[in-house]
Each structure stands twice: as structure tokens, then as C-alpha cells.
């Protein structure tokens, strides 16, 4: 394989090759973690490989392996109201916020409808059901979405108004991180791409991020071995949301408050904007922008 064709996913799989595999059932039994504390890190590919090499050499971590494959292609379609209630509740850091998406595992074709909300003490609660409709349609899943939002105290969001918007695609490697008090999980995402249809545009707006790796640890309040290794190498958790950050990048008219630092540090428009695409200059959101 020519070095020019080596992807970030190739490098991640190579550096984790010495680790043992773990099956999906065992991973779920050990660390389902539908209620969890998430820590997200954004790293250049070289830095991510360095940290993961240290993990492989010093911990008993294991890699999710399904039919011999150690990474999988994902596609997420995010649903929001016409006034972008989901996006704006997160952009303005409201305590009661939500996210609705379909997630499709492209290698197998399996699809799920997921609702994410904030649980007690800032933990993330994810609830999901199998999804038989198209990934871009909620179908009968609207009932599940409405019931779940109501149960979690998210009021005033009519599920019938939710429509598909931003799409994200990437490859994911999943790690099981055993520890004395249980187990944590981590995901390593490469090849991230966002896509957004715009009215009147000849083609969707796209934003690709081949030079970055997004690492997310998922566990309890106690940091995992991977968190500690990341800290030791000078990396700290950052605010990044595949929905919020992607939409803020492709819609610079929207507020980007929680993700402004990661956008400026890692996702400079001049460095990553697709050829031939222009974006309006971003301005600091005023009171009206934040209150919508």
C-alpha cells in the first residue's frame, strides 16, 4: 500500500493490532453504558497514534471485533424542528436538551433510532430502538421519540415537526477498557465528514476532516486508563458535537458558542472548506440569535 493511500483508520487499526479482540455481546455485557459520562478529545492523527500505541503497550484494553473487522462505517442522520430547537438548546447550553438521530451501521445495514438527553449531574442518557424505515424518515418511530422526550421532561418539541437535516459519516473503532470497578468504553473516529442539503444548491455542502481523530471515552465519573494517557500527553477534553459542530461549520449564520474553540483550533474554514464553496463570515450571535 502506498503511503499516500494510508488512511487514519489504517493507522489506528495497525497500532491497535497487538490488542486482543472482544465480541459485541461481551462488550455490551461489560459496558453497555447507556447512561454515562462522556469525555471527547480532538487530536491530529499522529498524536492519536502515539497515545493509542501507549494504550496498547501498557493496558489490557481490547478491540471490538465483528466478523474479523475491527472498524466499522457509520452514518448518522440528525432530526430537528424548523427552528432548530435541538441545535439551539445545545448551543445555548440549556440543561434540558435533546438529540434525535438515526444511526446506520453501513457494513451490516442495521439501523437504530436514538434519542439522547441529559441525565442527572450532566451524564448522557441514550435510548434507542431498532429502525425499519429509511434513515431519513422517522416513520412509526415518531411515537418512540415523543414518548421518550416527554418522559425526560423535554417539553414543547412536537415530534411531528422533526425533519432530517445534517448527516455525518465516519469510521469507528471501539475499545473495551477493563478496570477494577467495572469497565469503560472508548471510541476512535476517523474520516469524519458532514453533509448538509441547502435549498437551491446544486449539491450538498460537505466538510471533510481527514487530518483529525475524535476520541471519546464513555464511563463513570472515574477517568479511564485512556483518559489518563491522553492527559499525560497533553490532551484535555474538548467540546465537540457531531451535530452541533457540523451544523455550525456548514451554517456560519448560527451560534457556535460551545464549539467555537474546537472550530478555531482544529477546523479552520481556510484549512478545511471544500474547494469552490464559500461561507458567509461568522459574526458573534446577538441576543436574538441566542433566544430563538
Count other C-beta atoms under 10 Å from residue 41's C-beta: 24
DSSP 15: H
Summarize pLDDT for 192-214 with one digit per residue, the tens: 999 999 877 777 899 999 999 99
Judge whether 216 and 165 are in contact, CB under 8 Å: no
CA angle in degrees (0–180, nearest 5) for 281-241-233: 105
Enter the C-alpha cell of residue 106.
453501513
Q: 55-102, pLDDT tens digit by residue?
A: 999 999 999 999 999 999 999 999 999 999 999 999 988 878 899 999
Given this model, what pLDDT does residue 20 score?
96
Q: What is the pTM of this model?
A: 0.86
**Residue 290, pLDDT score:** 24
Which residues are CB-contacts of 180 (< 8 A; sequence separation ≥ 6)?
none
pLDDT surpasses 80 at 10: yes
Grid cell 451501521 in the structure block, residue: 105
Q: Per the structure block, which three cell numbers stand in for 186?
A: 472508548
What is the average per-residue pLDDT within 214-242? 92
The β-bridge partners of 223 are: none
143-173 pLDDT, tens digit per residue, is 999 999 999 888 888 888 999 999 999 999 9
DSSP 69: B
The average pLDDT across 16-41 equals 84
Tell me what the pLDDT averaged over the chain comes to.
86
Amino acid at each position: 500500500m502506498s503511503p499516500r493511500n494510508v488512511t487514519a483508520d489504517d493507522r489506528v487499526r495497525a497500532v491497535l493490532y497487538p490488542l486482543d479482540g472482544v465480541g459485541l455481546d461481551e462488550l455490551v455485557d461489560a459496558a453497555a453504558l447507556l447512561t454515562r459520562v462522556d469525555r471527547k478529545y480532538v487530536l491530529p492523527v499522529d498524536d492519536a497514534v502515539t497515545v493509542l500505541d501507549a494504550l496498547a503497550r501498557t493496558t489490557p484494553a481490547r478491540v471490538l471485533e465483528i466478523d474479523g473487522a475491527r472498524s466499522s462505517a457509520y452514518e448518522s442522520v440528525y432530526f430537528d424542528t424548523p427552528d432548530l430547537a435541538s441545535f439551539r438548546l445545545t448551543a445555548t447550553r440549556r440543561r434540558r436538551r435533546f438529540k434525535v438521530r438515526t444511526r446506520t451501521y453501513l457494513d451490516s445495514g442495521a439501523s437504530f433510532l436514538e434519542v439522547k438527553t441529559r441525565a442527572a449531574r450532566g451524564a448522557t442518557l441514550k435510548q434507542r430502538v431498532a429502525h425499519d424505515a429509511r434513515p431519513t424518515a422517522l416513520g412509526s418511530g415518531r411515537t418512540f421519540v415523543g414518548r421518550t422526550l416527554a418522559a425526560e421532561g423535554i417539553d414543547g418539541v412536537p415530534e411531528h415537526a422533526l425533519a432530517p437535516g445534517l448527516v455525518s459519516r465516519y469510521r469507528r473503532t471501539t475499545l473495551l477498557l477493563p478496570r477494577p470497578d467495572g469497565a469503560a468504553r472508548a471510541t476512535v473516529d476517523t474520516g469524519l465528514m458532514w453533509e448538509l442539503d441547502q435549498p437551491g444548491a446544486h449539491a450538498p455542502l460537505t466538510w471533510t476532516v481527514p487530518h483529525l481523530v475524535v476520541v471519546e471515552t464513555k464511563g463513570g465519573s472515574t477517568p479511564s486508563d485512556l483518559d489518563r494517557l491522553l492527559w499525560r500527553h497533553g490532551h484535555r477534553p474538548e467540546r465537540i458535537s457531531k451535530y452541533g459542530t457540523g451544523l455550525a461549520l456548514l451554517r456560519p449564520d448560527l451560534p457556535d458558542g460551545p464549539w467555537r474553540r474546537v472550530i478555531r483550533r482544529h477546523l479552520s474554514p481556510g484549512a478545511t472548506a471544500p474547494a469552490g464553496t464559500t461561507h458567509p463570515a461568522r459574526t458573534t450571535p446577538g441576543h436574538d440569535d441566542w433566544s430563538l
